[in-house]
Amino acid sequence: MNLASGEFGHIAIGCDADQAKSKVVFVTSIVLDYSENRGSVFAWTRDIKKIWKVSLPEKLMTEAQKIVGIFNEESIQEISNRYCVTCSAHIDVNTNPKWQSNTMLSSIRGWIEGLGVEVVAKPDSYASSAVADRMARIRSTPRRKTLND
């Protein structure tokens, strides 16, 4: 897997959170899409905050802050320019007005687009609503198999 080989065409960065008892699990994912729709690979990081309750606006703004933090690092912009790879930020905000998260759409979209990054919202934001969401819902670390399993 090498960016210089030209096998990747897009980088999608997303974040999602899940409330679990006395903590909130934030997962940030970086998805590398192969060129010509041949699939994807991803990496993710988990950040656990000891909070009893988090409001929806606070959760969405923290998710956006984590995405902005990655795009503020020069390495992502440099990689995008050097290897002719497109980038987008996938936010966990719904475009449908019937969902409560829609009230935050314009402010979060404006914040991220101010960095010069394309923003993708639900239902098309697979880096946040599929990858990060799945990793945030895993309650414990996977058990490693031993020879006796």
Tens digit of each residue's pLDDT (9 = 90 or more) over 104-120 = 999 999 999 998 899 99
Could you tell me which of 85, 92, 76 has the C-alpha nearest to residue 125? 92
The answer to the question of residue 112 being in a domain is yes
Between helices 74-82 and 56-72, what is the axis angle to 10°? Answer: 60
| Number of domains into which the chain is organized | 1
> Percentage of the chain with pLDDT > 70?
85
The answer to the question of residue 57 being in a domain is yes
Give the pLDDT mean for 20-36.
Answer: 86
The answer to the question of residue 145 being in a domain is no
pLDDT at 149: 47
Tally helices (H) and strands (E) across the chain.
5, 5
The answer to the question of residue 130 being in a domain is no
Judged by average pLDDT, the poorest of 14-23, 35-44, 49-58, 102-111 is 35-44
The answer to the question of residue 147 being in a domain is no
The answer to the question of residue 142 being in a domain is no
The answer to the question of residue 66 being in a domain is yes
147: pLDDT strictly greater than 90: no
Give how far Cα 133 sits from Cα of 4, 37, 61, 62, 116, Å.
29, 22, 16, 15, 25
Tens digit of each residue's pLDDT (9 = 90 or more) over 78-108 = 777 777 788 999 999 999 999 999 999 999 9
Domain with 116 in it: 3-125
pLDDT at 1: 54
Pair 128, 90: CB distance under 8 Å: yes
- At 132, give phi and psi (nearest 5°): -65, -40
**Average pLDDT of the chain, as a whole number:** 84
pLDDT at 108: 95
Confidence bin at 6 (pLDDT 50/70/90): low
The answer to the question of residue 139 being in a domain is no
Q: What is the secondary structure of 29-87 as a DSSP string?
A: EEEEEEGGG--EEEEEEEEEE--S---HHHHHHHHHHHHHHHHHSHHHHHHHHHTT-EE
